[in-house]
Structure 1
Amino acid sequence: MELRGKQKRFLRSKAHHLQPIFQIGKNGIGDAMVAQINEALEKRELIKVNLLQNTDEIAEEVAHVLENKIDCTIVQIIGRVLVLYKPSTKEKYQKLSKEVAGI
Structure 2
Amino acid sequence: MSLTNAQKKQYRLIGHSLNPVVMIAGNGLTEAVLTEIDRALEDHELIKVRISITDRDVRSALITEISKVMKSETVQVIGKVALFYRAALEPNPKLSNLLR
Greater helix proportion:
1
Compared CA separation, residues 91 and 31, structure 1 to 2 (3 A): same
Aligned residue for 2:72? 72
Structure 1, unmatched stretches of 5+, are 99-103
SS of match in other structure, 2:20: coil
Which range moved further: 41-50 or 28-37? 28-37
Change (3 A) 1:28 1:89: same
State the match for 2:90 in structure 1: 90
Task: State the 4+ residue runs in structure 1 displaced beyond 4 angstroms.
Answer: 53-57
Q: Give the secondary-structure state (helix, strand or coil) at the position aligned to 1:68.
A: helix
Match of 1:31 in 2: 31
SS at 1:92's partner residue? coil
Contact residue 43 and residue 91 of structure 2 kept, 8 A: no
Identity percentage over the alignment?
A: 29
Q: Distance in 1 between matches of 2:56 and 2:97?
A: 35
Unmatched 5+ stretches in structure 2: none
State the superposition RMSD in angstroms: 2.1
Give the distance between the partners of 2:55 and 2:30, measured in 1 at CA.
13
For these two proteins, the number of residue pairs brought into alignment is 97
The amino acid across from 2:14 in the alignment is K
- Say which SS state the counterpart of residue 10 (structure 1) adopts: helix
* Aligned CA distance change for structure 1 residues 22 and 55 (closer, same or farther; 3 Å): farther
**Could you tell me how far apart the structure 2 residues matched to 1:34 and 1:49 are?**
11
Question: Contact 1:59 / 1:82 at 8 angstroms: preserved in 2?
Answer: no
Aligned with 1:29: secondary structure? Answer: coil
**What letter matches 1:15 in structure 2?**
G
TM-score by length of 2: 0.85
